[in-house]
Amino acid sequence: MGREIKLKQPAPVFKGTDAVVAGALTRSQLRGSTVRRLFQGVYALRSEPMSHDLRCAAAALALPPGTVITGKSAAGLWGVQLARAEDCVQVVAPDGTRIARRAGLNVRRTVVRPHECTPWSEVAVATPLRTTLDLLLDRPLPDAVADLDAVLRAGLVALPRVARMIEGRSDKGIVLARRAIELADARAESRPESRVRVWLVLDGLHPVPQYWIEDGSGRLARADLAFPEHKVAVEYDGSWRDGELWALNRDRDRLNRVQAAGWEIVFVTAQLLNDPARMVRTVRAALTRRALP
């Protein structure tokens, strides 16, 4: 059985004018500390936790009909959290739709067919398949692959359906979208791990994702990426697998046992990942060392 795909209900937001007319709040209270303004004229109680889903619900009240929430924003509404609370809400709208420019929105003009979205609040949300397309289009390849890996891992879409969907399309960025599909791997357990893998593959290397390192007593640790023939593992330093305390960057005793088994570990920090060329050189240097007699 696959994962049940269910669209979240809109978070509790309201239009300020409606609250005033209903007598729930006064205009002075709308300027007070008990409410938070999310978009012009749209509010939430400050007691409501700030989240990207809350931003999406507010955007739905602020945007005109015909607008479709998509990309990272829609992924979150389908249960795959890719956007941070402060990120802009990603929407697409046909050319004829008038949308006032405002902070907190990322608007792209394009056609969305009726079967590619579903009604949600006052607007619509892209279907999982259309959401995935917009995660791929016109984006840096490592970022597109990282988000594709995440939705595949969560069971939101299946890779063959995504591949069939983009056949014959000519959207801006479709060539890189096809390349992202070729590079996708649902075994990746984090988006940084996916980005590390893509940069390595683009440089001609072929790491194995989620590789179990073993010694004579059995399994020692699961590495994010590995080159088994060289006994080199690559770990993103922020990895934390569902609280598993044996993660190599947390458990020094286990790291010692892995190294005693003849493995070299390359830890990739966020700072190193932000310099892909240096990160690739670091991994290649480890592979070169292991290749020496």
The class level of CATH for 194-291 reads alpha beta
Predicted confidence (pLDDT) per residue in 189-207, tens digit: 999 999 999 999 999 999 9
Given pLDDT bands bounded at 50, 70 and 90, which one contains residue 293?
Answer: low
Report domain extents, the chain. Answer: 14-126, 140-186, 194-291
pLDDT of residue 146: 98
Q: What is the pTM of this model?
A: 0.90
- Gyration radius of the chain's alpha carbons: 23
Q: Which residues contact 224 (CB under 8 A, 6 or more apart)?
A: 189, 190, 193, 196, 209, 210, 233, 234, 235, 236, 239
Given pLDDT bands bounded at 50, 70 and 90, which one contains residue 244?
Answer: low
Predicted confidence (pLDDT) per residue in 47-90, tens digit: 999 999 999 999 999 999 889 999 999 999 999 999 999 999 99
Predicted confidence (pLDDT) per residue in 148-180, tens digit: 999 999 999 999 999 999 998 988 999 999 999
pLDDT of residue 242: 45
Predicted confidence (pLDDT) per residue in 11-54, tens digit: 999 999 999 999 999 999 999 999 999 999 999 999 999 999 99
Given pLDDT bands bounded at 50, 70 and 90, which one contains residue 188?
Answer: very high
